[in-house]
Amino acid sequence: MDNRNTEELYSLGTISEIARQALKQLINEQKPAVPPLYEKAFYRTAISMGNSDLVDHLMAKMPTGQAATVLIEKLAFMMSGLDENMKYYRQGIDVHSEQISDHQAKIKKLVAPETWDELEKHLTGVLVANDQMKQRVVEAEQRIQEQENNVSQLQHKIRFDPLTGALNRYALDEDISAEFSRSKRYIRPLSIVMADIDYFKKINDTYGHAAGDEVLKAFVMLVRKSLRDVDNVYRYGGEEFVIVLPETPGAGGVIAAERLRKNIEKHTLKHKTDSSLKILITASFGVASYTDGDPNYHSIIDRADAALYRAKNSGRNRVEQAF
């Protein structure tokens, strides 16, 4: 591996231009230039400008998870380019074959019969070759489409928890960073809810881990049914979840959390292998909202977590708001 600094391998002008174009892309997309979004834009721009080697060099210095994310983004960009190229080739073959077919009658009138007989054989051979080539291109397009689907699945796996279908910690870091930046820049409300399923270990010990998994999935389903389209639920770890509520002040966050609490409390989950067993679940919630004094989104999460801790210590199945 080349241990030289990035600046020694790539000109400052090249890196600066990539950075400038990446920032321009975010501005055009009306997205904040927060680290997660800016990094993605930088790598995407570097690839589109023909600097894949720079991306590879930077990936070698990244944590494994982050490098995998960039690699999948790179694959998605490459697959998109291949798809367009194949479409262009196929259309070119069609145009070429159409031109030959359209001009055959004219050519036949302009040449002697014996010349035309020989020429027709060659033209027919070209048309047959074009058909064969087009078939190969169509097959290549199908393979590319399959790979694009695989890349899409990988992109989904990067952001979603495989068990519950909730967004994961990586997605939370990316999304909440953007929401925090937007709230800070435009002075807009933002609330974060920390949620924890009560007595989850007891559920696992009593009904088994398979039942515990069903409880987690049911919890996410119930939360999603109660949220707006702009809200999102993220699995934070184990039985703990984070709910991000854009454009929601503190009072609205408490109302939303209380609605979630009631919906979960009245839900009865049937045991998968023994329908006579019914599992009742409750959850505790901590709510915190953005303030001018928050230096970053971590401070909001910390306050929501402290409020959740109070809810757990005050009897569970309740909502507490951060001070």
Report residue 125 CA to chain centroid gap.
Answer: 48
Query: Does 251 map to a domain?
Result: yes
Quote the crossing angle between the two packed helices 35-48 and 64-110, to the nearest 10°.
Answer: 30
CA–CA distance, 101 with 114 (Å, rounded to integer): 19
Is 0.85 surpassed by the pTM of this model? no
Three-state secondary structure readout of 218-272: HHHHHHHHHCCCCCEEEEEECCEEEEEEECCCHHHHHHHHHHHHHHHHCCEEECC
Residues 186 and 305 reside in one and the same domain: yes
Query: Does 192 map to a domain?
Result: yes
Q: Does residue 301 contact residue 192 with C-beta atoms inside 8 Å?
A: yes
At residue 287, the 3 state secondary structure works out as strand
Q: Does residue 39 contact residue 62 with C-beta atoms inside 8 Å?
A: no
The range of the structural domain enclosing residue 26 comes to 6-61
CA–CA distance, 231 with 227 (Å, rounded to integer): 6
pLDDT digits (tens, 9 = 90+) for 128-138: 998 999 898 88
Residues 33 and 91 reside in one and the same domain: no
CATH at residue 223 = 3.30.70.270
CA–CA distance, 174 with 37 (Å, rounded to integer): 7
Which strands, in side-by-side order, build the sheet including 283-289? 232-237, 240-246, 190-197, 283-289, 319-321
Last residue of a domain, one of 159, 179, 207: 159
Residues 82 and 148 reside in one and the same domain: yes
Q: What angle do CA 213, 238, 278 make, to 5 degrees?
A: 35
pLDDT at 1: 43
Residues 82 and 50 reside in one and the same domain: no
Query: Does 1 map to a domain?
Result: no
Residues 218 and 253 reside in one and the same domain: yes
Q: Does residue 241 contact residue 235 with C-beta atoms inside 8 Å?
A: yes
Query: Does 164 map to a domain?
Result: no
CA–CA distance, 182 with 226 (Å, rounded to integer): 24
Residues 243 and 285 reside in one and the same domain: yes
pLDDT at 120: 87
Query: Does 190 map to a domain?
Result: yes
- C-alpha torsion sign, points 205, 314, 251, 180: negative
CA–CA distance, 230 with 182 (Å, rounded to integer): 14
The count of domains in the chain is 3
* The pair of three-digit structure tokens given for residue 52, joined into one six-digit string: 């894949």
Residues 199 and 86 reside in one and the same domain: no
Residues 252 and 177 reside in one and the same domain: yes
Determine phi and psi for 198, rounding to 5 degrees.
Answer: -70, 140
Last residue of a domain, one of 159, 190, 209: 159
Residues 202 and 296 reside in one and the same domain: yes
- Catalytic one among 39, 179, 214, 239? 239
Last residue of a domain, one of 61, 86, 105: 61
Report residue 47 CA to chain centroid gap.
Answer: 19
Distances (CA, A) of 147 to 66, 141, 242: 21, 10, 33
Residues 190 and 143 reside in one and the same domain: no
pLDDT at 197: 97
pLDDT at 61: 60
Q: Does residue 320 contact residue 311 with C-beta atoms inside 8 Å?
A: yes
Our answer to whether residue 320 is catalytic in this structure is no
Residues 278 and 146 reside in one and the same domain: no
pLDDT beneath 50, residues of the chain: 1-2, 7
Query: Does 264 map to a domain?
Result: yes
Closest CA to 259 of 291, 228, 280: 228
Query: Does 174 map to a domain?
Result: yes
Strand partners, 160: 167
Residues 89 and 137 reside in one and the same domain: yes
* The pair of three-digit structure tokens given for residue 168, joined into one six-digit string: 């994961």
For residues 314, 316, 319 and 323, what is the CA-based torsion angle, rounded to 10 degrees?
A: 30
pLDDT at 182: 86
CA–CA distance, 11 with 219 (Å, rounded to integer): 51
